[in-house]
Every structure is written in C-alpha cells, then in structure tokens.
C-alpha cells in the first residue's frame, strides 16, 4: 500500500523583501510565525505497517529550525531574498544536503513536497521533483 504522511513545524523569523518596489509593505522589516509541512510518500512495508516514524521527520527538520528560528532570514546564507518561494527551495536543499545516512536519507528518499505558510491565508509549496528540475541533475 502507498501512503502519504506529513509533519508540521513552526518557527518565528523576521525578513524583508528587497526586490519589492519602494513603498511596498513587504520591503519593510516585518515578521511571521511560519508553518512548515514536510510531506513524505511511499510504499508502506507490510512488516512494520509504518511508512516512516514521524520522529524521523522531526530529526531531519531540527537543524534547519535552528538556522531559521528567531533570525532575520535575510542574514541566512542562501536566503538574501527570503520569499516563501525561495524559503521552500532552501528547506528542500537543506533536507538533501544536511546529513547523509540514517533517518536523513530515509526522509530525503521519501520526500514528496514541502509547504511553507507565511500566514493563515498564504503559502508556497514545491515538490522534490520540481526542486530537482529547478536545480539541475547535480542537485
């Protein structure tokens, strides 16, 4: 059987969007409580009945949370323009590049997509396949 599971996390951070026009509210420094959803999908092993332990997703997210939480996202390397689109791509890259082996490889191998909510009404989502097409074959 194929299943899709997800785990949701939050972090608080400030940012500004320097590419927005002068006078646009998002060009000014402001903050959000971001919500990140990491979604994995795959074949459920019949011997365990579990696709993946949710704690493994939490472990894979933990180091990224530490880099983002209560930070100015513009100061995070790779997020100089911290739009939700760039943030989603940065998180997927972080899930791939963070560590190899163990739970990190399990999460990466099963990763379907990441969704980031900037507010209760706005979000951006990218699949691993879309990210790999964007980043090229060496991603």
Sheet holding 71-72, edge to edge: 71-72, 2-15, 30-43, 111-117, 123-127
Q: Are the C-beta atoms of residues 113 and 42 closer than 8 Å to each other? A: no
- Rounded to 5 degrees, what angle do the CA atoms 39, 112, 62 make? 50
Please pick, among 37, 118, 125, 130, the residue that the annotation labels catalytic: 118
**Could you tell me where the DSSP H helices lie in 37-135?**
54-68, 84-97, 102-110, 128-135
Whether 22 sits among the annotated catalytic residues: the reply is no
Whether 24 sits among the annotated catalytic residues: the reply is no
Please pick, among 70, 80, 85, 135, the residue that the annotation labels catalytic: 70
What is d(CA 138, CA 110) in angstroms, rounded to the nearest whole number?
19
Whether 135 sits among the annotated catalytic residues: the reply is no
Question: 3-class DSSP state for residue 35?
Answer: strand
Q: Which residues are catalytic?
A: 26, 70, 118
């Amino acid at each position: 059987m194929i299943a899709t599971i997800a785990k949701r996390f939050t972090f608080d951070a400030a940012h500004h969007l320097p590419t927005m026009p002068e006078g646009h509210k998002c060009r000014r420094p402001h903050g959000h409580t971001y919500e990140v959803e990491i979604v994995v999908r795959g074949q459920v092993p019949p011997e365990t009945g579990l696709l993946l332990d949710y704690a493994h997703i939490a472990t894979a997210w933990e180091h990224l949370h530490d880099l983002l939480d209560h930070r100015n996202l513009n100061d995070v390397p790779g997020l100089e323009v911290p739009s939700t689109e760039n943030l989603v791509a940065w998180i997927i890259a972080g899930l791939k590049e963070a560590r190899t082996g163990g739970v990190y490889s399990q999460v990466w191998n099963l990763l379907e997509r990441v969704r980031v909510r900037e507010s209760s009404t706005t979000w951006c989502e990218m699949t691993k396949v879309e990210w790999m097409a964007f980043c090229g074959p060496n991603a």
